Chain A
Amino acid sequence: MNTTPRGFNRFMLGLLGLFMLALGAGLVLLAVVPAAGRWWQSWAEPQVRSLGGFAARTHIATSAGSWVWLVVAAVFVAVVIVSVSWIANQGKGRANVLFVAPGSAEDDGASGKVVLGTAVAEQTLKAALLERTDLLGVSVSTYDFRGQASLRVRVLPRQGVAPQDVATDIRSLVDALDTLLGVEVPVLLSIGSGARTRFTRAERVR
């Protein structure tokens, strides 16, 4: 539920994949079919020669190279910026404000606003869940999903614990949280397993 740009990820991977497919197929063709090699040389060599001639004619200064290489460098800078921002956008979207209620003078005579931090909901839920012996791990985090703060509860139950029972219990905790806070926050419950659940013994008695 973070704001990882999934569509963009797929688009970029598809683009790079197609590019590499085409490049690889071209190289294999050059290596295997002699006619393809002759065609490629007859097409590419004049192009490179004209590029070389153009670069030789467009020297910026006597000791420096052509501005063609400056354009190439600018393209590479753009690629670097795209790839850095692509990485930086993965897994973002944590929120730290759960709810804001602006007060007004005609409402209760006081202006100002009430801000609930996400730690309220996170720590309440976590404290309630840590008491249980059938859960080995609990983590609660808040994400900003489309302008709405949403809670993500990840629990790791012991082996053999029925997930629907965990879900029902957490549901009643969430209902209690709703009445405590006075607002209904969207909640995602993710019931999973990790290395710890795999190597500790199953709960035999409930």
Chain B
Amino acid sequence: MKQAMSRVLRRETHSSRAPLSVIAAILLGLLAVYGLLESMLRVLGQPAWLIDPLTAAQRLAGLPAGISAMLLGATGALLLLVGLIFLSHALLPGRRARHVIADPRVAVVVDDEVIASALARRTRMAAGVTREQVMVVVSARTVQVNVRPTSGIMVDEDHIRASVEAELEAMALDPAPAVVVNLARTGVVGV
């Protein structure tokens, strides 16, 4: 069960590539249905719908002729780009913006957005500022806390860092991110 759970967690923190797969399968299926139609028309000795397969093969074989080089190059470049997108989806790890909370009984994954809003709340209370003055960005290995202080009121950077780190420690995230606190050099007036 332990092993099964770690596998479930791995699946939850990585993308399944399902949307692009469905798009690719639909495109592939439509192309194949069209090819099926034309070749069956040919088998039955009926006139072709758009182009007869043998004529299509002849056109392909004579290629740089019969089409403007500009259009051919553009088509090729487009195919190249789409192929690159597909290949990168196949090869890249595809990590989702999620962290794992270690727990012996329940496997827990948290969206980074939830972590960020919890840390923003903690920062807001530690710095004594309003919601709009705090922005927290959570990525896999770092937490960036941006605070824009109220004009004329000092905020304590070490205190903010300590309280954010304490909150992160209580969360026990895996992988554990490092905290970066940025205090804006300009303040906000009228809050």
Write the residues of chain A forming the contact surface with B, with a CB cutoff of 8 angstroms. 1, 4, 6, 9-14, 16-32, 34, 37, 40-41, 44-45, 47-48, 51-52, 55, 60, 63-67, 69-70, 72-73, 76-77, 79-80, 82-84, 86-87, 90-91, 145-146, 148, 150, 157, 159-164, 167, 170-171, 174-175, 184, 186-193, 202
Closest to A45 in B: B61
In contact, A186 and B109 (Cβ under 8 angstroms) = no
Q: B80 at interface (Cβ–Cβ under 8 A)?
A: yes
In contact, A34 and B64 (Cβ under 8 angstroms) = yes
CA distance in complex: A203, B118 (Å): 11
Q: Is the interface of A mostly helix, strand, loop or mixed?
A: helix
Inter-chain residue pair count (beta carbon < 8 A): 274
Known: A32-B73, A52-B54, A146-B4. A24 touches B81 (CB 8 A): yes
Residues of A within 8 Å of B101, CB to CB, are 163-164, 167
A88 to chain B, nearest CB (A): 9
Partner of A160, one of B14, B64, B120: B120
In contact, B43 and A65 (Cβ under 8 angstroms) = yes
Partner of A18, one of B45, B75, B81, B83: B83
Partner of A193, one of B18, B39, B113, B170: B113
Q: B171 at interface (Cβ–Cβ under 8 A)?
A: yes
Residues of A within 8 Å of B42, CB to CB, are 65-66, 69
Q: B184 at interface (Cβ–Cβ under 8 A)?
A: no
Which chain B residues in 1-59 approach chain A with CB under 8 Å?
Answer: 1, 4-5, 8-9, 11-12, 14, 16-18, 20-22, 24-26, 28-29, 31-33, 35-36, 39-40, 42-45, 53-54, 57-58
Q: B106 at interface (Cβ–Cβ under 8 A)?
A: yes
Q: B189 at interface (Cβ–Cβ under 8 A)?
A: no
Residues of A within 8 Å of B63, CB to CB, are 27, 30, 37, 40-41, 44
Partner of B109, one of A60, A83, A191: A191
In contact, B105 and A174 (Cβ under 8 angstroms) = yes
Partner of A164, one of B26, B117, B171: B171
Q: B62 at interface (Cβ–Cβ under 8 A)?
A: yes
Partner of A14, one of B28, B53, B90, B114: B90
Closest to A37 in B: B64
Closest to B68 in A: A31
In contact, A80 and B33 (Cβ under 8 angstroms) = yes
Partner of A17, one of B1, B22, B26, B83: B83
In contact, B111 and A31 (Cβ under 8 angstroms) = no
CA distance in complex: A70, B4 (Å): 47
